[in-house]
Structure 1
């Protein structure tokens, strides 16, 4: 792996981890602003606990060495979560500024996934627990 690719991977991954951890914590502690936002989108408040937990677990999966299959699931979960957020804001007629965070996290997810090192990728030679 080229040095440039490693730098891109780690910058994107650390920013992704920071973004998902911070929003996950905000969701887990149910900050008033977050509760207002999710109810304005039409979702129940209890969804915050589920989303926050999954985000924190996804960050752990992506930053932990090995477990390539688990990493794939975490990246997919981040993508589905953030694309769902974009769609939800669009469907609810949210202010365009609400799109920035989820779109940025989608870009960071895709960048981190694309530039991940070979030992963090699934391959035919990997077992499902690699």
Structure 2
């Protein structure tokens, strides 16, 4: 059980840092703005994604009485990460540069499954 907790917190922590860094970049970085243009996203969507990533990260990290906020956060992040992978590929990015989204997906799924093992 202790190893499951360690795996859960490492995967969740790494994913949370990744999403918060991504959210910060979406709000402050010119390169992130250019990337969203490259994907064909409107500028307001970049801001919405940043806010959603901050709120979702909070839902993953903060203790909650009911699991619903965590489940919604996991679902939202799953959609976001898979959509990011598709956006990279659809906009002509290489499979190598697109695969970072798959790494994020692996962290997310590890966090999700270990969370459920710990809370059975």
TM-score > 0.5, shorter chain as reference: yes
State which structure, 1 or 2, has the greater radius of gyration over its C-alpha atoms: 1
1:1-130 matches, within 5 Å, as: 2-29=1-28, 31-66=29-64, 67-116=66-115, 117-118=118-119
Aligned residues: 117
Following TM superposition, by how much is the alpha carbon of 1:42 offset from its aligned partner in structure 2, in angstroms?
1.1
Distance, in Å, in 2 between the alignment partners of 1:84 and 1:71 is: 20
Distance, in Å, in 2 between the alignment partners of 1:79 and 1:89 is: 16
Q: What's the C-alpha RMSD, in Å, of the aligned pairs?
A: 1.2
Paired residue for 1:125? none
SS at match of 1:25: helix
Distance, in Å, in 2 between the alignment partners of 1:8 and 1:47 is: 33
Runs (4+) of structure 1 exceeding 2 A deviation are 95-98
Following TM superposition, by how much is the alpha carbon of 1:79 offset from its aligned partner in structure 2, in angstroms?
0.6
The TM-score normalised by the length of structure 2 is 0.91
Distance, in Å, in 1 between the alignment partners of 2:37 and 2:24 is: 18
Following TM superposition, by how much is the alpha carbon of 1:102 offset from its aligned partner in structure 2, in angstroms?
1.4
Q: Which structure is higher in helix share?
A: 2
Question: Does the 8 A contact of 1:28 with 1:53 survive in 2?
Answer: no
Question: Does the 8 A contact of 1:25 with 1:52 survive in 2?
Answer: yes
- Mind listing any 5+ residue stretches in structure 1 that lack a counterpart? 122-130
